[in-house]
Amino acid sequence: MAKQVVPEEKRRRRRPTRSGTVLSETLIVEAALRLLREHGSAGLSARRLGLALDCDPSTLYRYFRGMDELTLAIGDALIGEALRGWRPTGEWRADLHAVGLRIHAAYVAHPQAAQLTASRVTGRANELAADEAVLDVLRTAGFPLPDTVRIYHAFIDQTLAFAALDAAALALPRAVQRADDAIWHSTYARLPAETHPRIAEAAPLLSTRMLTSAYPTALEMLLDSAQARLAALTAGPA
């Protein structure tokens, strides 16, 4: 006989845990983010979550079918954090600029979670809201549908790619971060112009620029390209 499917609302635990807390998806995701921050992705498990929430690990499966579903919920929570308080202004470039910086900032604020989720597609409410918002900004600005999808694709992938890259650097041990940063001064800045002329002339700038994220610059370049495309479409045939 096929196993009866239990409706989602009936899977939820209404009784409090041993410490008196009533569990929720939000509470579990928040605890998972803490564990990721403290122990990295290797430290995220049902057992650890159960200890952190003072409940039996099996209780978590009333809320998530497995750890992968929880991972998707964590990614969606980061997007929700990015969108919180954002409203479109009607200025398409300013709106996309703000959304991009917000998403990037939300991910790098949780480096370990970003590494785990930046490459995933959640299909959850916050991700859908972000995608709908970006697509709407572009369509309302006057971009044809093919250009809208092309720019949306580049915008989202670029934002998440930089978020993953920057998060990976931030997740390194502090000593390793400092050692990596020091190479720009200890190695690049000392290369002679005779052997590495371009590096030598750029070294003073490289030693400053390479310690920060290139995402704001890349975002401006993408928006410049999109703006030029819109201007060309508006101007029509020469």
Alpha-carbon distance of 18 to 177, in angstroms, equals: 41
Confidence of residue 236 (pLDDT cuts 50, 70, 90): low
15: left (phi over 0), alpha (psi -120 to 50) or beta: beta
pLDDT, one tens digit per residue, over 23-81 is: 899 999 999 999 999 988 888 999 999 999 999 898 899 999 999 999 999 999 999 99
Q: Which fold has domain 1-65?
A: Arc Repressor Mutant, subunit A (1.10.10)
Give the model's pLDDT for residue 42.
84
Within the chain, all domains assigned CATH 1.10.357.10 are found at 88-235
- Whether pLDDT at 15 is above 80: no
What is the location of CATH 1.10.10 in the chain? 1-65
pTM surpassing 0.85?
yes
pLDDT band at 234 (very low <50, low <70, confident <90, very high): confident
CA of residue 165 relative to chain centroid, distance: 10
Is residue 2 pLDDT above 50, yes or no?
Answer: no
Where does 88-235 sit in CATH, by number?
A: 1.10.357.10
Q: What percent of the chain has pLDDT over 70?
A: 90
Q: Which of 223, 79, 218 is nearest to 162 (CA)?
A: 218
